[in-house]
A and B are shown apart, each in its own frame.
Chain A
Amino acid sequence: MRDLPQSRDLLGLARELLLGELLPLLPPERARDAHLIATTMAIAAREAAGGEGWQEEITGLLNEFYGESGSLHRLATDLRNGAFETSPSRAAAARAILWRLTIEKLREGNPHFLATNGFLAGDKDG
């Protein structure tokens, strides 16, 4: 339904224009801002490409963890209150969800860091 190019390509093209044509025209003290905008666009493009898939997976893990409808909100509250500290297995399972969440966020927000630390594009566990 949408016109082409769509979001990921649009962002890519805009980024190309920014870095290739606008950046050389900027005063040097604004170059860093232009690079930050370009990086922001790259993050947004990865988020657009990734869709909701990993978030749905995390929700599935939370439902499994709680045995009923779970949420990040509930997990956050429970962690704040130390709810799993008397059960090593529950604590380990909660940390596994946190780990997965962190990896998925880094995959969109900072894939270079993952690559540098030995995570491949499709890795779930490192």
Chain B
Amino acid sequence: MPRSEAGPADRQRALARFLAEASGAGAVEIARIALLPGGAIQENWAIDAEFDGGRLAGAQRLVLRTDAATGVPSSLGRVEEFAVLEAAFAAGVTVPEPLFACADPAVLGKPFFVMRRVAGSALGRPITLDQGLEAARPAIAERLGRELARLQTIHPLRGGLAFLPPYDGPIGQIGEFRAYLDRHPNPRPVLEWALRWAETHLPDKLPPVLCHRDFRTGNYLLEGTQLTAILDWEFAGWGDPDEDIGWLCCKGWRFGRLDREAGGIADRAPLYRGYESESGRRLDPERHQVLGNLREHPLGGHRAATERPVSDQRRAQPIDRDHRAARHRMRTRAADAARSE
């Protein structure tokens, strides 16, 4: 059970009461609860429960998602992530159905949300290397393109996501990235070249859309050859419609298949085909390559792109923040090398 000051049995009872109340059940009996593997930033708990009446009457397989001990400051809170998941679900993106969110610390000691448990595996290497998936990979890439296009139907005017920081366009993003570089002691001329390229190759006005910001192999579930869910919405925010496609095509997410630019599963063509046919917008591969690599850089472009205002973090704990940032870069460098092997 997620840790809090109460004991495991108390927390399990509190959770059962919460589930019963939220679903309108007379009672809920939790038969099994187990921590799922992975999740350095969040904990995911599998729950098997029997609902006595209410909207989930019967046996249910659920996942409870809550903060792990080692969160990163750039990620959304669980209640906010739940709202993003609801928006994606409503837009027809393939995600686990979001069920209930709880901000009350009296239940488990920290916020959490509950969603349906979906079958499948997200492990990167089997997805990119398993021979049994070979014939299906282009279709999976095409499907991912369609999923992204559906996600991008969510615009800031949609209600319910007002907590997401506003996005002021690529120029603002370039400025933020440069400010981030200016705080780093080492000059980064390659990144400067890429930022200048982005600045001098601005597309026609692109309206901000909801971006997943960690849309990649390793964050979607496959059950056999079927895409069953896109996971981990904690970095979502308003942004450039080309961001997620660039990120998916970064070399860091190819898990041993560096030759396959679309997440290690296919070349870009089926991904682009899926996206373009669903969205009606033509894609610019060169722009994706530059944007993707900017975010992928070990200095932490991904972090820079998603980080909350630095002033808040600095006020909180300057030394700890710098140490965490350095550790994050260590992990990123190592992970980048390890995923290529």
Contacts and interface: CB of A to CB of B under 8 A. Distances in A.
Contact of A43 (B35, B186, B333, B341): B333
Interface stretch (B50-58, B113-121, B192-200): B192-200
A98 interface: yes
20 contacts: A28-B37, A35-B338, A36-B335, A37-B334, A39-B334, A40-B333, A40-B334, A75-B189, A76-B181, A76-B187, A76-B188, A79-B189, A79-B196, A80-B192, A98-B193, A101-B189, A101-B190, A110-B336, A112-B337, A113-B258
Given A39-B335, A80-B195, A110-B337, 15 more contacts: A36-B334, A40-B334, A43-B333, A71-B187, A73-B187, A76-B181, A79-B196, A82-B196, A82-B200, A98-B193, A102-B190, A109-B337, A110-B336, A113-B337, A116-B259
Contacts of B258: 113, 116-117
Interface residues of A, number: 33
A95 interface: yes
Contacts of A77: 187, 192
B319 to A, nearest CB: 22
B251 interface: yes
B321 interface: no
Question: 10 tightest A-B contacts by CB?
Answer: A76-B187, A39-B334, A79-B192, A36-B334, A76-B189, A73-B187, A72-B187, A40-B334, A110-B337, A112-B340
Interface of A: 28-29, 32-33, 35-37, 39-40, 42-43, 71-73, 75-77, 79-80, 82, 85, 94-95, 97-98, 101-102, 109-110, 112-113, 116-117
Interface in B1-42: 35, 37-38, 40
What does DSSP make chain A's interface, helix, strand, loop or mixed? Answer: helix
